[in-house]
Amino acid sequence: MSEQQNNSAATRPAAVIAARDLTKRYGKTSVVDAINFDIAKGEVFGLLGPNGAGKTTTILMMLGLTEISAGRVSVLGFDPARQPLQVKRRVGYLPDAVGFYDHLTAVENLAYAAKLMGLAMAERSRRIAAALTRVRLLDVAEKRVATFSRGMRQRLGLAEIIVKRAEIAILDEPTSGLDPQATIEFLDLIRELKAEGVTVLLSSHMLDQVQRVCDRVALFRAGKIAMMGSVAELSVQVLGAGFVVEVEADGAGIARRLAAIPGVGNVETLADDRFRMTADRDVRADAARAVVAANGALRRLSVDEPSLEAIYAHYFQATPSGGVRDAA
Amino acid sequence: MRREGSAFQGVGAVFVKELSDNISSVRMLMLELLIVLTAMAALYEAITALRQNTAEDPFLLLRLFTVSQAPLPSFVAVLGFLIPLMAIGLGFDLINSEHNRRTLSRILAQPIYRDALLLGKYLAGLATIAISLTALWLLVIGLGLIFLGVPPGGEEIARSLAFLVIAVFYAGVWLSLAMLLSIVFRSPATAALVALGVWLFLTVLWPMLAPAIAQAIVPPDPRFAALGLDTPGTVIWTQLLQRFSPNDLFGEAMLAVLSPTTRTLGPVFLDQIRGAVMGAPLPFGQSVMIAWPQTVGLIACTIVLFVAGYVLFQRQEVRA
């Protein structure tokens, strides 16, 4: 583990998931190769990367569903290899293209899972009704899952996590194959979970969606974590500066004042009253103050946030063989 | 490495769900119909044959199970043929269907071990068969009472109960095999085909192949052939080889339990029957002793197949 990672971990709240040199080998092939990361409580953490990069295998190791070849992972302080039941009691998992028993209704499917969780009948009924209301499936609660769309199945999967009252929700490609409306609704549900203090681990290759909900991301490549950090941090690492702020204002010495704002890398004068600057954070508020300080009149202020897609594309073009970086 | 918690946590939930699925499934309904209709036909023939025979028989009820009248085989022979079909029908997609429905990783992400899923499913399958066989058993006793008009004695009930227990063990072998194949093959169709292939081989082909192999091991002695007798060594080897088929073990155990006059299941030598009263029934306990090795063979076969499936399932990737 790098020193940078240690420092980064120290500044974040206590980790609910901590992986140290976590490795999974099939024969001589390492599909997950000595990865290290910490995920803080209440954080939405994204696992990004192409198919076969090792994301799902990492998730399965966290759940104790596949053996760890080397290293270790701790989930809420428990070792998934030795204490899988403790881990599984507290962690909800929504697999990629989640499957349900089509001949059973939504309630029956959830009731079966709730029985496996060990919930008593009265508690089971209460939690299931509440969860179905929450994911807006109460009106189809008694319908067979065979009639459900993919979006409804994904929401039913999330309802199962809600029934469990999981402290950590692991979502593997939850929005793949969903229509835009279903995707928006699903991302809203993820935000609601975060608001309740649930730690969310989201595996996806839908970069824009990950960017919308994740606090930090780890970019997997060939079984290794190639980069890790917030989108802003990654953009600084990969693109130099991630935020592009455009200012349209009158006033004397505005360019000089904008350049003096902490975090601003470069100020380009596009016209007498138009400036474009790159920064490692959103500096619109500082820019507005700078214009006011120059007795100027602010007409327009816009920001282009760093795009994970741009970071991803730039990284893979720049380092085709893949190096390991931690932006945090 | 010692695991925390009980391996059996969740077995009950899996068992109840699977039992409910089995009993309400169309597949099970079809299998039950097939078995009940075939068994009833065999039973009808047996009742017809017995009603023509007015001789006194202390085990009239048991004869319902064993008497056959052409063209139908006896009730027991029909079950010997159909129980594997029922077990294979219930077990060929026990695990691979969870993979194909993509439910396996979701279910195993609940606080249970794989053991619970496997055991719950297996026990539910076995319970389904046991319930069907018990219903069939009650039907036989009821029809016997109605058509023969003779109430069954205590020993007859005990022997027919022993039949029921051994039939469940016999079903256990085929259910274990079907479950093993459902773990090995991801495609239910492949698992079903292989299971049916094994069943046909052991039930139809093996009884023909075993004597040929026995003759290759112990060639027939011309001195016995001249007397019109089988060579003892060849007979012993034939029987030994045939016992590799669960169908043969079941048939022998049934013979010992349901035919009280059966004194041995192998070749008999004169010195072994010295002093025996020919045709006299054996006590129930002794009949069970005769059937015991075959029953243990069936149980052992079930355990071996189940353990093989268990080991494979524990090592299997659960990726949906």
- Please report, for the domain that includes residue A267, its CATH number: 3.30.70.100
Is there a domain that residue A21 lies in?
Answer: yes
Distance separating alpha carbons of residues A302 and A287, to the nearest angstrom: 10
Nearest CA in chain A to B26: A103
Structure-model confidence comparison of residues B64 and A143, the more confident one: A143
Distance separating alpha carbons of residues A34 and B179, to the nearest angstrom: 37
A227, A249: one domain: no
Is there a domain that residue A35 lies in?
Answer: yes
A260, A228: one domain: no
Instruction: Kindly list the residues from chain A whose CB atom is less than 8 angstroms away from the CB atom of residue B319.
Output: 56-57, 60, 66
Percent of chain A surpassing pLDDT 70: 92
- Looking at residue B67, its pLDDT comes to 78
Place of tokens 């990672």: A5
Q: What is the mean pLDDT of residues B30-45?
A: 82
Q: Find out whether B199 and B104 touch, Cβ atoms under 8 Å.
A: no
A79, A206: one domain: yes
Is there a domain that residue A128 lies in?
Answer: no
Query: Which of A60, A98, A103 has the CB atom closest to B106's CB atom?
Result: A98
- Looking at residue A68, its pLDDT comes to 94
Distance separating alpha carbons of residues A219 and B303, to the nearest angstrom: 47
- Looking at residue A319, its pLDDT comes to 66
Instruction: Kindly list the residues from chain A whose CB atom is less than 8 angstroms away from the CB atom of residue B113.
Output: 84-85
- Looking at residue B54, its pLDDT comes to 55
Tell whether B21 is within 8 A of chain A (Cβ): yes
Structure-model confidence comparison of residues B57 and B33, the more confident one: B33
Instruction: Kindly list the residues from chain B whose CB atom is less than 8 angstroms away from the CB atom of residue A121.
Output: none
DSSP state of B203: I
Q: What is the mean pLDDT of residues B220-226?
A: 86
Is there a domain that residue A154 lies in?
Answer: no
Looking at the complex, report in whole angstroms how far the Cα of residue A139 sits from the nearest Cα belonging to chain B.
Answer: 23
Is there a domain that residue A314 lies in?
Answer: no
Instruction: Kindly list the residues from chain B whose CB atom is less than 8 angstroms away from the CB atom of residue A94.
Output: 106
Is there a domain that residue A311 lies in?
Answer: no
Distance separating alpha carbons of residues A117 and B110, to the nearest angstrom: 6
pLDDT digit string (tens) for B242-298? 999 999 999 999 989 988 887 777 777 777 677 777 777 888 898 899 899 999 999
A55, A173: one domain: yes
Q: Is the peptide bond before B71 cis (omega within 30 degrees of 0)?
A: yes
Q: Find out whether A47 and A202 touch, Cβ atoms under 8 Å.
A: yes
Tell whether A176 is within 8 A of chain B (Cβ): no
Backbone angles phi, psi at A74, to 5 degrees: -120, 130
Indicate whether A190 pLDDT > 60: yes
Give me the CATH number covering residue A215.
Answer: 3.40.50.300
Of A203, A234, A265, which one is at a domain's C-terminal end?
A: A234
A14, A44: one domain: yes
Contact at CB, B4 and A86, closer than 8 angstroms: yes
Distance separating alpha carbons of residues B176 and B172, to the nearest angstrom: 6
Contact at CB, B103 and A101, closer than 8 angstroms: yes
Q: What is the mean pLDDT of residues B104-131?
A: 95
- Looking at residue A281, its pLDDT comes to 81
Is there a domain that residue A177 lies in?
Answer: yes
Is there a domain that residue A159 lies in?
Answer: no
Instruction: State in Å, rounded, how far the first CA of chain B is from the last one.
Output: 26
Give the number of domains in chain A: 2
Indicate whether A189 pLDDT > 70: yes
A13, A70: one domain: yes
pLDDT digit string (tens) for B67-102? 777 777 888 888 888 899 999 999 999 999 999 999
- Looking at residue B279, its pLDDT comes to 72
Strand bridging mode A44-48 / A243-250: unpaired
Task: Give the range of the structural domain holding residue A8, as residue numbers without chain letter.
Answer: 3-100+166-234
Nearest Cα to Cα of residue A325 among A205, A209, A242, A233: A233
Nearest Cα to Cα of residue A86 among B112, B316, B118: B112
pLDDT band at A2 (very low <50, low <70, confident <90, very high): very low
A221, A292: one domain: no
- Looking at residue A113, its pLDDT comes to 97
A8, A48: one domain: yes
A172, A300: one domain: no
- Looking at residue A327, its pLDDT comes to 44
pLDDT band at B184 (very low <50, low <70, confident <90, very high): very high
Indicate whether A3 pLDDT > 70: no
Q: What is the H or E stretch that residue A19 is in?
A: strand A15-26
Tell whether B111 is within 8 A of chain A (Cβ): yes
Indicate whether A237 pLDDT > 80: no
A47, A171: one domain: yes
- Looking at residue B193, its pLDDT comes to 97
pLDDT band at A321 (very low <50, low <70, confident <90, very high): low
Indicate whether B132 pLDDT > 70: yes
A289, A249: one domain: yes
Of A234, A253, A277, which one is at a domain's C-terminal end?
A: A234
| Chain A residues 215-254 with CB within 8 Å of chain B | none
Of A199, A234, A269, which one is at a domain's C-terminal end?
A: A234
